[in-house]
Amino acid sequence: MGYKDMILYQDMTPTLLFAAVFSSLGAFTFGYDNNWWGGVIGSTYFNTQFGSGTKLDSKGNTVHTLSASDTSTGTALGTVGIMLGCMIAPFINERFGRKVSFFTLAVVGLVGSIVQICCTFNHNYWVLVGGKIIVNISVGMASAVTGVYQSECAPPRIRGALTNAYTVFNNLGTLLANVVMYIVNARTNSSVWLVPIAVQFIFPCIILVSAPFLPKSPRWLASKDRHDDALRSLRRLRGASVAEEDLAVQLREITASIEHEKTIQSQLGWLQLFRGQDLRRTLVGTGMLCLQQGQGISFTNNYLNITMLNLGFTNTYQLLVALYTGKWFITLFGFGVR
What pLDDT sits at residue 11?
79
What gap in Å lies between CA 138 and CA 103, rounded to an integer? 10
What pLDDT sits at residue 131?
95
48-57, 110-119, 305-314 — most confident range: 110-119
Residue 6 DSSP code: S
Task: Give the pLDDT band (50/70/90) at residue 280.
Answer: confident
**What integer is the mean pLDDT of 319-331?**
62
- Residue 47: exposure state from Cβ atoms within 10 A (0-12, 13-18, ≥19): buried
What gap in Å lies between CA 128 and CA 132, rounded to an integer? 6
- Return the minimum-mean-pLDDT range out of 1-5, 232-236, 254-258, 275-279: 1-5
Beta bridge partner(s), residue 64: 54
Following DSSP, what letter does each residue of 245-285 receive, concatenated?
HHHHHHHHHHHHHHHHHHHHHHH--GGGGGSHHHHHHHHHH
What gap in Å lies between CA 90 and CA 93, rounded to an integer? 5
Identify residue 71 by its one-letter amino acid code.
T
Would the pLDDT of 23 be above 80?
A: yes
- The neighbour count for residue 330, using CB atoms within 10 Å, is 10
- Return the minimum-mean-pLDDT range out of 1-15, 22-36, 270-284: 1-15
Q: Quick one: which H or E segment has residue 11?
A: helix 7-11
- Asked whether the beta carbons of 33 and 202 are under 8 A apart, the reply is no
Would the pLDDT of 1 be above 70?
A: no
Alpha carbons within 13 angstroms on the beta-carbon side of residue 88 total: 20
Q: Quick one: which H or E segment has residue 65?
A: strand 62-65
103-112, 152-161, 167-176, 296-305 — most confident range: 103-112
What pLDDT sits at residue 90?
92
What domains does the chain contain, in order, with CATH numbers?
3-215 (1.20.1250.20)
25-40 and 98-122 are packed helices; what angle lies between their axes, rounded to 10 degrees?
20
Q: 56 φ, ψ to 5°?
A: -95, 130
- Asked whether the beta carbons of 135 and 74 are under 8 A apart, the reply is no
What gap in Å lies between CA 85 and CA 80, rounded to an integer? 9
